């Protein structure tokens, strides 16, 4: 399938984000909240794309699923709850710990589960999970601004999905067999160079859209922990400051020495 958005040679991550956000806005492809700039877009058709997760073997065989709190992933959170699996949702912006475990009322109806899958429900029907908890995440669902069919992912530029995955590695919550899925609009599937993928970047195994299920067979390894220098670099920066960093281009940035950091998170 030909990409709806063409990415020029030499484009930076921030160039790609802006192109995707502009395309979604110009073509009215998103629901509330608008505009989509500096967000994971809540694209039209998100619920139908999320429903495709139930057809994956990785979903049927899983017990614990981590789904990001982004609005377009609401349908994925609902599917996890309806399947009676354990739903873990990261604390927004990692303000108070890493996870919240969603605990619906006993015998919850579908409508109650729908409420539990919303941002308000995550606040009202959850209990915090400490970093010392014994958690085994079998499936990770993340939002994206752009993703390639090879599994390369670009988020909104704040790095939280990457940091969350690195923390899960460090606490033993994920392994090499953990499957990572992203759910996006078809137009967000674009072709961009592997040169943009940095050691801290989380790659994905499956891409779900309203019309397709894409198995990426990504050959790049996932992060093996937290790269603390990257955390210090991005902490407290505004989107404009991060865009200035991105637009320097990868050739101008020092290369990290590895995909790991042996640090105790507790």
Say which CATH number the domain at 103 has: 3.40.50.10420
Q: Check residues 237 and 112 and name the one with the higher pLDDT.
A: 112
- Domain assignment of residue 117, yes or no: yes
Report yes or no on 259 lying in a domain: no
Question: Whose CA is closest to 204, among 213, 186, 191, 217?
Answer: 217
d(CA 3, CA 232): 35
Over the chain, what is the mean pLDDT? 85
Structure tokens at 29: 């492809």
Q: Is 265 among the domain residues?
A: no
Query: Tell me: the pLDDT tens digits for 30-85?
Result: 999 999 999 999 999 999 999 999 999 999 999 999 999 999 999 999 999 999 99
235 band by pLDDT with thresholds 50, 70 and 90: low
User: Does 81 fall in a domain?
Assistant: yes
Q: Are strands 179-183 and 206-208 parallel, antiparallel or unpaired?
A: parallel
Burial (CB < 10 A; 0-12, 13-18, 19+), residue 38, is: middle
Residue ranges making up the domain that contains 229: 13-245
49/185 Cα distance (integer angstroms)? 8
Q: How many domains does the chain have?
A: 1
Q: Does some domain include residue 90?
A: yes
Tell me, yes or no, whether 170 lies in a domain.
Answer: yes
**Within a domain: residue 260?**
no
162-211, pLDDT tens digit by residue?
A: 888 888 888 889 988 899 999 999 999 999 999 999 988 999 999 999 99
Write out the chain in H/E/C secondary structure. CCCCCCCCCCCCHHHHHHHHHHHHHHCCCECCCCCCCCCCCCECCHHHHHHHHHHCHHHHCCCEEEECCCHHHHHHHHHHHHCCCEEEEECHHHCCCCEEEECCCCCCCHHHHHHHCCHHHHHHCEEEECCCCCCCCCEEEECCCEECCCCCEECCCCCHHHHHHHHHHHCCCCCCCCEEEEECCHHHECCCCHHHCCCCCCCCCEEECCCCEEECCCCCCCCCCCCHHHHHHHCCCCHHHHHHHHCCCHHHCCCCCCCCCCCCCC
Lowest pLDDT segment from 30-34, 74-78, 94-98, 125-129: 94-98
Its pTM stands at 0.85
| Residue 228, domain member (yes or no) | yes
């Amino acid at each position: 399938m030909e990409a709806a958005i063409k990415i020029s040679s030499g484009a930076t991550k921030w160039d790609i984000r802006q192109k995707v956000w502009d395309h979604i806005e110009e073509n009215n492809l998103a629901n509330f909240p608008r505009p989509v700039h500096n967000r994971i877009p809540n694209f039209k058709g998100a619920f139908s794309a999320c429903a495709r997760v139930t057809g994956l073997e990785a979903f049927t065989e899983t017990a614990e699923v981590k789904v990001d709190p982004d609005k377009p992933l609401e349908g994925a959170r609902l599917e996890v709850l309806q399947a009676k699996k354990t739903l873990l949702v990261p604390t927004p912006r990692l303000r108070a710990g890493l996870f919240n475990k969603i605990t619906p009322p006993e015998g919850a109806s579908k409508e109650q589960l729908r409420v539990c899958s919303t941002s308000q429900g995550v606040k009202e029907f959850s209990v915090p999970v400490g970093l010392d908890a014994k958690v085994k995440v079998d499936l990770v669902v993340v939002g994206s601004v752009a993703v390639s069919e090879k599994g390369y992912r670009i988020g909104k530029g704040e790095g939280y999905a990457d940091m969350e995955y690195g923390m899960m590695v460090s606490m033993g919550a994920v392994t090499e067999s953990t499957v990572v899925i992203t759910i996006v609009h078809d137009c967000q599937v674009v072709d961009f160079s592997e040169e943009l993928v940095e050691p801290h970047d989380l790659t994905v195994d499956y891409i779900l859209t309203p019309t397709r299920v894409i198995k990426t067979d990504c050959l790049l390894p996932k992060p093996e922990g937290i790269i603390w220098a990257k955390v210090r670099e991005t902490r407290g920066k505004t989107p404009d400051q991060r865009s200035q960093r991105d637009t320097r281009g990868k050739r101008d940035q020092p290369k990290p020495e590895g995909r790991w950091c042996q640090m105790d998170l507790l």
